[in-house]
Structure 1
Amino acid sequence: MDRVRVRFAPSPTGLPHVGNIRTALFNYLFARHHQGTFVFRIEDTDRSRFVEGAIEKLTSALEWVGIEIDEGYSAGGKFGPYLQSRRLDLYEDIASQMIAKGKAYVCNCSVQRLEQLRAEQKKAKLNPKYDGHCRHKNIPFKGLEQLSQQNAVIRFAAPQEGQITYNDKLRGEITFDNRQLDDIVLVKADGFPTYNFANVVDDHFMNITHVMRGDEFISSTPKHVHLYNALDWTAPEFIHLPIILNQQKKRLSKRDGSVYIGQYREMGILPSALRNFLALLGWSPKQNEEIMDMKQLIERFSISGITIHPAIFDLDKLIWINSQYIASLPGEELFNLAEPFMRSAGIDTSDIDLPYAEQAFDLLKSRLPTLQDAPERVGYFFHPPEQYEQEGWEKRILKVDHVQTYLSSFIENLKSLDCWNRDTVESCLRETAESLKVKPSILIHAARISVTGMTTGPGLFDILNLLGKEQVVSRMEKAIKKIAEQV
């Protein structure tokens, strides 16, 4: 195999989403697996759909997910520029050569004529396509800048008979009838090339060896192969990735997660988790693993592992994968990652003791689906609960006879402890329960919700030990006052 060169070539027409970042990741893993080159190219020739700031957001999304750009926009390289709007001279030169060889022609059909043609074809139930009206008119080409004055475009003189076959590395040979194909527009009246034309020209001059993209391009590829043939160029290998569907087996929409990739960062998904999840959208390793870091993904990635069947976007699975990555982090690192979410929730982290925060997150990390859950799940380590889970409060406090007495006795026994650690606190609770002749579980549940405001969490004695005597006593006394107000 020649040295692998792949490209991620998005159009800056919106925000980066699951589909195009998945495509970028597959290209990147393939390139890295073969010690190849990952090229980042911007296809910005559709000026009517250009979105200001989209390029920067694409670049930021790649960086956040951990995809390193070897060559291309923002990285440079010997095949630049990597912004198609800065390559117009090259497209003009190739278009001129094609016209001179009879492989392309200038077309000045009016919009009205084209609309009438489509309407007639639709009425006759024919495949809508250009009828070649200008193919033999030999309208002179006066340069890209003159196209708008000529009210003209440049079209490809596509083969009109026979078939075109190309090989898809996943699907094998795919064949199209040339009679169903069109004399596609290569250069528009505004002087900018179309996607189909610029895509082929750039892939050739950038020495792209493999084109890995979504399967919506399967029907466009015969047009590209015809262009390669017309220019006597060797076409790259084609790999069309499976479509991504939601859990209802419908095309992924904004409601399902196809919106801006930054939303996952905002909801507290780790980039390593998102990368892992996206890698499994249409690919699986031979070892049938689910949790893989970047090094493992690169080692295991292969085209043979890509399926042709639709990939299902399962948000629950993404959150589960994220929880596995969170659980593996050291407490200090996790706190640093979660701190912005804590501050956004109104928790003052400016004076927090780092070793204390590290221990708190070590206790809770196996219970954190996302970083966004940190304020609710870990918050009680940094401030007393402002409210209590209603159902739990009623069940563990209000419906328990003499609960105030139980908690008061426990408080007094805690105050008398000379040594405060997990074991002494547990012994104190169990001895208190025994003296009161109640099950320890009654006191455990009452103490948990009094101190944390919640009914679930890490082991109670780990929580009490970390909070310390002063906080535990203060919070339980506050709970007793609340009980007195309600009974």
Structure 2
Amino acid sequence: MTESDKPVVVRFAPSPTGNIHIGNARTALFNWLYAMKSGGDFILRFDDTDRQRSTVEFAEGIERDLRWLGVEPDRMEWQSRRFPAYDAAAQKLKDAGLLYPCYETGEELERKRKLRLARRLPPVYGRDALKLSDEDKARFEAEGRQPHWRFMLPNFESDPFETRRTEIHWDDVVRGPQTVDLASMSDPVLVRGDGTYLYTLPSVVDDIEMGVSHIIRGDDHVTNTGAQIALFQALGADAPAFGHHNLLTAASGEGLSKRSNALSIASLRETGIEPMAVNSLAVLIGTSHSVEAVPSMEALQDIFTPDMASKSAAKFDPSELGALNRALIHETPYDRVAARLTDMGVDEHRAEAFWLAVRGNLDVVEDARHWWGVVKNGPAGDAVLEDEDIAYVREAFALLPPEPWGADTWSTWTSAVKQASGRKGRALFMPLRIALTGSRSGPELADLLPLIGREGTLARRP
């Protein structure tokens, strides 16, 4: 089977240690859309090997957030259930002499790093642990030191202390041809001193065993990819294709953090932002395509290609979400919000006409609740009639046309009021709007009036 014949399998592998934010959603969506365009599978894989910080609640929240966005995993996996596979891979590397124990403390490593910098040498680990005798190791362990384990990069010919330039190349599905020199890197730590695994080994083992064909992630992992490709090869596997998209940052350039709830998917949902507003921004910002409100995941899939992402960070202003949200709502057909309107108590026989009347004035769908209250119960705002307008409005209400009321009722009524009062423009319309809604702005009164009805309108006469 050639590389092009392999089924596409992608994965999104968050740590369930907090709520995912819009930056995480960008990675999930890049993978999801790539799988959808390729007829492939999407794995949601929880990196929950940190048992102290990972929680079931956060994992459930991540799954809920993704499904709300429209990302439906084909399968879900939990790394905490796969430790035997990681243990076996670690032992295989140890047996091959590629995973070696190191006993330096963090302070000792920092001193060595600074010493190399002072000598104008790259701050990479010098493999000093390879020089330790069995007696040295026994002495360290007698002191209570537990080794961490490093993967020996294949960046030398025969002497591991004589590294040479060793280039790893791949054709990145986002960035194009990429090169990393393994001689510029320290041997990565795969196992901590307490025996727990860092991200790298479990990730590679899972990618091999789960048949992952493409790894699409943030460009902060570009350098790591060289070491991971070497690890794939050390475990006897071909590396998947890689893609590294630009990161989503705040307008200030600061990165986003799961530890802060700002811009978390859960918080955006709670504030009334629509899923496709999040999806549109998360995918299109920082790409060759203009940022626009895309109405559906299918339409976004038609637009998406992984190489559309630029190489610079994708900075955005949260206010852009509001603008996209309004644009989406203003074009949303009734059938997509019917159930939500029912939950608000909107009468079924008036619901579609009501939605079409008010959607152009909404920031979030929930705002429709206010306007339904206006239609059903009367004015609900802080605008009040001026003294000189009260008599005018009373006279105007006396001119209300008989039912049935329809699309022409407003113009019929205001024409009669204009002729009787001599008023026109704002002086004619604004007092009527305030009397009917309690607000100085809002949906077209021509659309609201038939919904309020003649009896409901007369009840608002001052």
TM-score, length of structure 1 as denominator length: 0.81
**How many Å apart are 1:255 and its aligned residue?**
12
Structure 2 spans left out of the alignment, 5+ residues: 136-140, 156-162
* Aligned alpha-carbon RMSD (Å): 3.2
Q: Which residue of 2 aligns with 1:104?
A: 99
Counterpart amino acid of residue 348 in structure 2: L
Q: Which residue of 2 aligns with 1:345?
A: none
Tell whether 2:414 aligns with 1:429: yes
Q: Which residue of 1 aligns with 2:49?
A: 45
Equivalent residue in structure 1 for 2:234, among 230, 235, 259: 230
1:221 aligned counterpart, secondary structure:
helix
2:46 aligned counterpart, secondary structure:
coil
Counterpart amino acid of residue 221 in structure 1: T
Between 424-433 and 449-458, the greater mean CA deviation after superposition:
424-433
Aligned length: 445
**How many Å apart are 1:118 and its aligned residue?**
4.0
Equivalent residue in structure 2 for 1:370, among 364, 374, 380: 364
Cα distance in 1 for residues equivalent to 2:133 and 2:365:
64
Cα distance in 1 for residues equivalent to 2:403 and 2:83:
81
Give the conservation status (yes or no) of the 8 Å contact 2:21–2:257: no
**Distance change in 2, residues 1:86/1:475 (3 Å):** same
What aligned pairs does 1:407-418 form with structure 2 within 5 A after superposition?
407-414=393-400, 417=402
Cα distance in 1 for residues equivalent to 2:92 and 2:240:
21
What aligned pairs does 1:7-406 form with structure 2 within 5 A after superposition?
7-51=11-55, 53-71=57-75, 73=76, 82-118=77-113, 120-121=115-116, 126-137=121-132, 151-158=146-153, 159=155, 160-167=163-170, 168-252=172-256, 259-283=263-287, 291-331=294-334, 333-334=336-337, 336-337=339-340, 349=345, 352-389=346-383, 393=384, 397-398=385-386, 402-406=388-392
1:162 aligned counterpart, secondary structure:
coil
Report 1 or 2 for greater relative contact order, CA contacts < 8 Å, sequence distance ≥ 6: 2
**How many Å apart are 1:433 and its aligned residue?**
2.4
**Distance change in 2, residues 1:253/1:339 (3 Å):** farther
Give the conservation status (yes or no) of the 8 Å contact 2:100–2:152: yes
**Distance change in 2, residues 1:241/1:338 (3 Å):** farther
**How many Å apart are 1:236 and its aligned residue?**
1.2
1:291 aligned counterpart, secondary structure:
coil
Cα distance in 2 for residues equivalent to 1:15 and 1:61:
9
Cα distance in 2 for residues equivalent to 1:13 and 1:424:
58
Q: Which residue of 2 aligns with 1:449?
A: 434
Give the conservation status (yes or no) of the 8 Å contact 1:13–1:54: yes
Deviations 1:13-35 (A, max 9, x none): 21111111111111111111111
Give the conservation status (yes or no) of the 8 Å contact 2:98–2:152: yes
Between 303-312 and 195-204, the greater mean CA deviation after superposition:
303-312
2:363 aligned counterpart, secondary structure:
coil
**Distance change in 2, residues 1:211/1:320 (3 Å):** same
* Percentage identity across paired residues of the two chains: 30
**How many Å apart are 1:248 and its aligned residue?**
4.4
TM-score, length of structure 2 as denominator length: 0.85
Give the conservation status (yes or no) of the 8 Å contact 1:430–1:440: no
**Distance change in 2, residues 1:49/1:275 (3 Å):** same
2:322 aligned counterpart, secondary structure:
helix
